Structure 1
Amino acid sequence: METWHPGLQALAATLFTWFLTALGASAVFLTRRMPQWVLDGMLGFAGGVMIAASYWSLLAPALTMAEEGTLPAWLPVAVGFLAGGLALRAIDAVLPHLHLGFPMEEAEGIPTPWRRSVLLVLAITLHNIPEGLAVGVAFGAAASDLPGATLDGAVALALGIGIQNFPEGLAVSVPLRREGLSRIKAFWYGQLSGVVEPVAGVAGALIVLASKAILPYALSFAAGAMIFVVVEEVIPESQRSGHADLASVSCLVGFAVMMTLDVALG
């Protein structure tokens, strides 16, 4: 894999993360219902993974790279981080979507007659954009031979995102089945939510390959986008159904798992 083009590396890594989304979504063939506490725990775990990945796999390398430039190291990282969050907020305000467990009256984005199931899938798709972007940017950074970015670190990020995508796929398909969709449709929509990751991953890798100067901004942009998703979507959903303590502990476990992966492999 070391000899592959970074774009191809990013594609392979994000196809892996998509596959684990599809694998999680396939659980709908085994059960129609999943205890809410399981879904909340999985969401909490996913949030912990994303928070840890945002720092160890993205912000820390961005700060190391920024130290090589002429600007204060914190400046490009802060700019990129805030830009990532604001970009996701802009998409969130426009794209019609509905978070899991929320009534139709709380759908966000531009008003639309689309069905509830479509809006649920779009919410998870929005969630997956920064994940794919983060993986792609990490592989592009590793190919630039700059301090703080390694191929092992990019692989660790992809592995961590993939691990949290498994419960994420399940957390999409099972509620869709509960909404009345057939098992095949629930699986199809569940895995479809992860298809955006390879697209965002390849785009992220190619963008950072165009210029080393944008790497600190790109890495921190991906981190800001992921943190926005965690704060705006993942954690509130995990806390909504009365299993706040379990979701919080699961978040800590997810954080520890991603931190361990990044430190051990990166």
Structure 2
Amino acid sequence: MDSIIAYFSSIPPVQAALYAGLFTWGVTAVGAALVFFFREVNRKFLNMMLGFTGGVMIAASFWSLLQPAIDMSEGEGFVKVMPAAVGFVLGALFIFGLDKLMPHLHLNFSKSEGPKSSLHRTTLLVIAIALHNIPEGLAVGVLFGGVAYGLGDASIAGAVLLAVGIGLQNFPEGIAVAMPLRRMGLSRWKSFTYGQLSAIVEPIFAVIGAVAVGFFVPILPYALAFAAGAMIFVVIEEVIPETQAEGHSDVPILGFVIGFVVMMVLDVALG
């Protein structure tokens, strides 16, 4: 891990954000690639992995994004916490707005949202996952972008760990997209293509986030909290409900706890 952190410390933040985004995209592709070997996965296992995804995202939202946003804000009391509060709300509203403006289909294929569209259900599903991957890319990019503007070397470790955590939780997302498409009758190659394509936005928005911070340094606390609000909205609106789609189960809850603890320990101990 030390050598990886040292390497990311030696390259420009935008380049580091691009590499981190490509990594998270690649892990999604690895998850989607399971479609070449299996037609479906055990539903309990997938629910546990999705719960793990939720735990990682919630933990990362606080320790990697909200806490640094509060720490770097000036003032005391309400003044100090306001940038994080405002950014958090704006991030949640951003995803809420995208949900209303963009046609998309949920993972269970039973509920569509946004304007009515003639697009194929497969396309709508990929749009849904892509929309929900935007805050993950932004989070990585904003952290790497902030390295050059006062966060210090420790922020590089935090950014790398955030990318690793997001990569881990992208693995089941790749499965969750590719496997249903395969069951619908799509070829293995098409199922894989759509599954990995859902995360293509992550390296794009990682770069956007890193560049934006460079132009607007004072907004860094708002940007970090914005990414946190967007990520938590996705967890509550999409990830957790999907784990309970076939009835209440304790398995995804245990997965959530494991994911939360893993990300918390990594971030606090190494970040």
Query: TM-score surpassing 0.5?
Result: yes
Query: What's 1:109 paired with?
Result: 114
Query: What's 2:35 paired with?
Result: 28
What is the letter of the counterpart of residue 163 of structure 1?
L
Q: Secondary structure at the match of 2:231?
A: helix
Q: Decide which of 4, 10, 16 is 1:9's aligned counterpart.
A: 16
Query: What's 2:60 paired with?
Result: 53
Q: CA deviation at 1:232?
A: 0.6
Q: Decide which of 134, 137, 146 is 1:129's aligned counterpart.
A: 134
Greater shift in the superposed pair: 163-172 or 235-244: 235-244
Q: Percent of pairs identical after alignment? A: 57
Q: CA deviation at 1:241?
A: 1.3
Q: Secondary structure at the match of 2:104?
A: coil
8 Å contact from structure 1 (residues 42, 171) kept in 2:
no
Q: CA deviation at 1:10?
A: 0.1
What is the letter of the counterpart of residue 18 of structure 1?
W
Aligned: 1:234 with 2:239? yes
TM-score normalised per structure 2: 0.94
What is the letter of the counterpart of residue 47 of structure 1?
G
Query: What's 2:105 paired with?
Result: 98
Query: What's 1:162 paired with?
Result: 167
8 Å contact from structure 2 (residues 138, 206) kept in 1:
yes
CA RMSD of aligned residues (A): 1.6
Q: CA deviation at 1:150?
A: 1.1
Cα 1:57–1:148 shift into 2, 3 Å: farther
Q: Decide which of 77, 97, 101 is 2:84's aligned counterpart.
A: 77
How many residues are matched? 264
8 Å contact from structure 1 (residues 7, 206) kept in 2:
yes
Q: Decide which of 232, 252, 256 is 2:257's aligned counterpart.
A: 252
Unaligned runs of 5+ in 2: 1-7
TM-score normalised per structure 1: 0.95
Q: Secondary structure at the match of 2:30?
A: helix
Q: CA deviation at 1:24?
A: 0.6
1:46-86 deviation digits (Å, cap 9, x = unpaired): 01100000000000000001136998111111000000000
Q: Secondary structure at the match of 2:269?
A: helix
The 1-side partners of 2:105 and 2:55 are apart by 22
Unaligned runs of 5+ in 1: none
Q: Secondary structure at the match of 2:79?
A: coil
Q: CA deviation at 1:37?
A: 1.3
Q: CA deviation at 1:145?
A: 2.0
8 Å contact from structure 2 (residues 9, 153) kept in 1:
no
8 Å contact from structure 1 (residues 17, 158) kept in 2:
yes
Q: Decide which of 187, 196, 206 is 1:191's aligned counterpart.
A: 196
Cα 1:68–1:208 shift into 2, 3 Å: farther
Q: CA deviation at 1:6?
A: 0.6
What is the letter of the counterpart of residue 136 of structure 1?
G
What is the letter of the counterpart of residue 137 of structure 1?
V
Q: CA deviation at 1:236?
A: 0.6
